[in-house]
Structure 1
Amino acid sequence: MTADITLFVNPAAGRGRGVRAVGPAARVLRDAGYAVRTVLGTDAADALRRAREAVAGGAGALVAVGGDGLVSLALRAVAGTEVPLGVVAVGTGNDYARANGLPVRDPAAAARLIARSLKEDGGRPLDLGRTGDGTYFGTVLASGLDSRVNDRGNRMRLPVGGLRYDLALVAELAALRTVPYRLRLDDGPVREVEATLIAVGNGSSYGGGMRICPGARADDGLFDVTVVGPCRRGTLLRVFPRVYRGTHLSHPAVSVLRAARVTLEAPGATGYADGEPLGPLPVTAETVPGAVRLLGAR
């Protein structure tokens, strides 16, 4: 491993904030004595390939400059390696950075923290989730209502930004239905569960601050599994704002389970991890303790 740092950049993050963040972050890292190179990709697959090449080439650290989508790719590139990850969070949601106490939309502050952590502790070991196809995730695996909102939002061309998903939520609430899940935790029995959604949290939040799994910790080897049972549309509308504070867990329709391995099956349901599509259920996810060393994490 060398003193070279690879900046892994999404130029489209935060409507151009990714590009604008490169300069301040690179200056801070160079002033701290590190050589800095930049990696871009033509699309997600190309970007992931380039990030993995940088990791395999012995980069001193991979630093993701962008939002949660880019961080998700970066996690896949460094998971299980000795190369630590830095995050310069300049996207729209920045859930992974927020959950781990990292600066948001302050590239210079994030870079200072990365440089200090590289010199002092080399990063904090944190868990990741991993699905059966080998996809790693840092925040939440979503299914049910929240994945249908993602499906619909991704199909919409307008409006841009987070408002698109707010409108997608309104549309999905109009057609609210429960999903017949088959849920298995670790080596336990299969449970038949009617639920509005099930979220498997390695981290606490998704969707730009919705704390769907507020008690989830990325250092305990376990997922927090939030199950929202059947509820009326009006009830969901009243409870939904509480998700941003993480106080929805007190509602009788909500329960939390904990496990190191979770299998979800449901007809016609899609899974999303870190906001990225996994494809139709079934899906099995397991925790991988200490799979990433995150620079500057609290």
Structure 2
Amino acid sequence: MTGEITLFVNPAAGRGRGARAARPAARVLREAGFAVRTVVGATAGDALERAREAVRGGTGALVAVGGDGMVSLALQAVAGTGTPLGVVAVGTGNDIARTLGLPLRAPAAAGRVIAEALRAGHGRTVDLGRVGGRWFGSVLASGFDSRVNDRGNRMRWPAGRLRYDLAMLAELASLRPVPYRIALGDGPAREVEATLVAVGNGPSYGGGMRICSGARLDDGLLDVTVVGECSRTTLLRVFPRVYSGTHLGHPAVAVHRVARVTLEAPGVTGYADGEPLGPLPLTAEAVPRAVRVLTGPVPAGP
């Protein structure tokens, strides 16, 4: 493996933490003996092309510095290539790093994990979800939560988390079930009125909301969580339980574990790793062992 690695940086991540976090991570990696170069694009598309050039050029690792959106962008460059992915998680949600047990908002510590993994050959090979040519690591969201994202993205005020809190309140006020057609694996499509449908390669989104709590990164399957038609009162009562994953025991919630799922619904956008994929219908599939992530030693199984 080459001694040069590439930092893939989002300077805007975490209210500017991305650019600041690159420096201590780079320092730790250089002290460990690695040559470090940095990729920062003018746009997401430009950054991705630069990252792909680094992968094609044989970089020893691509290290995403930012939040889940930056990690997701890095996945588009490394998935299926054999180039390992490092994560310096300094965004708001950091669900992919959280699931992998990586340091959160501690760039020097993350740099040490990456350096040790490269030196010792540690890492974890995990599955990814794929929709067409787009890869995702955590959750594909649709329905109520994607409508909150849609509304929040249209709002110009206020900034930050409060914007999405207000968007959620507005969507609650107009809550209505979504008429879905869902095809699980090779089975026939079924019609269901649902509040939301989430497809999890990993268990959580939105900064620790375990919407697909049972999802595993190495089972070759996607967890499909269907929250059926429910009232505002029920949704407000059940919603806090998503942080512990105990919402899965509610009668309105069903979980299916499949290798492929197709979702159809009018006027609904799909979001994966917090980024818009486009309108439904969308077909998601699990791709086993799609990327190696630089982590600490993985405990041996029983």
Same fold (TM over 0.5): yes
**Matching of residue 249 in structure 1 with residue 248 in structure 2:** yes
The answer to whether the 8 Å contact 1:96/1:138 transfers is yes
Give the structure 2 partner of residue 128 of structure 1: 128
Q: Deviations over 1:91-127 (max 9, x none)?
A: 1111110011110000011010011111222521100
Aligned to 2:105, what secondary structure does the other structure show?
coil
1 CA distance for matches of 2:121 and 2:35? 19
2 CA distance for matches of 1:43 and 1:233? 39
1 CA distance for matches of 2:71 and 2:237? 32
Give the structure 2 partner of residue 25 of structure 1: 25
Offset at residue 166 of structure 1 (A): 1.3
Give the structure 2 partner of residue 115 of structure 1: 115
Letter in 2 for 1:179: V
Structure 1 runs (4+) deviating above 2 angstroms are: none
Letter in 2 for 1:71: V
Give the structure 1 partner of residue 157 of structure 2: 158
The answer to whether the 8 Å contact 1:137/1:273 transfers is yes
Give the structure 1 partner of residue 68 of structure 2: 68
**Matching of residue 142 in structure 1 with residue 146 in structure 2:** no
Letter in 2 for 1:186: G
* TM-score, scaled relative to structure 1: 0.98
Give the structure 2 partner of residue 106 of structure 1: 106
**Matching of residue 88 in structure 1 with residue 88 in structure 2:** yes
Give the structure 2 partner of residue 279 of structure 1: 278
Aligned to 1:196, what secondary structure does the other structure show?
strand
1:36-51 superposed matches below 5 A: 36-51=36-51
Letter in 2 for 1:174: A
Q: Deviations over 1:195-248 (max 9, x none)?
A: 000000001111111110011101000011000000000110111111111111
RMSD after superposition: 1.0
1 CA distance for matches of 2:193 and 2:4? 51
Give the structure 1 partner of residue 209 of structure 2: 210
* TM-score, scaled relative to structure 2: 0.97
**Matching of residue 174 in structure 1 with residue 173 in structure 2:** yes
2 CA distance for matches of 1:69 and 1:271? 15
| Unpaired segments ≥5 residues, structure 1 | none
The answer to whether the 8 Å contact 1:84/1:122 transfers is no
Q: Deviations over 1:72-96 (max 9, x none)?
A: 1001110001110000000111111
| Unpaired segments ≥5 residues, structure 2 | none
Give the structure 1 partner of residue 238 of structure 2: 239
Aligned to 1:115, what secondary structure does the other structure show?
helix
Give the structure 2 partner of residue 187 of structure 1: 186
**% of aligned pairs identical?**
76
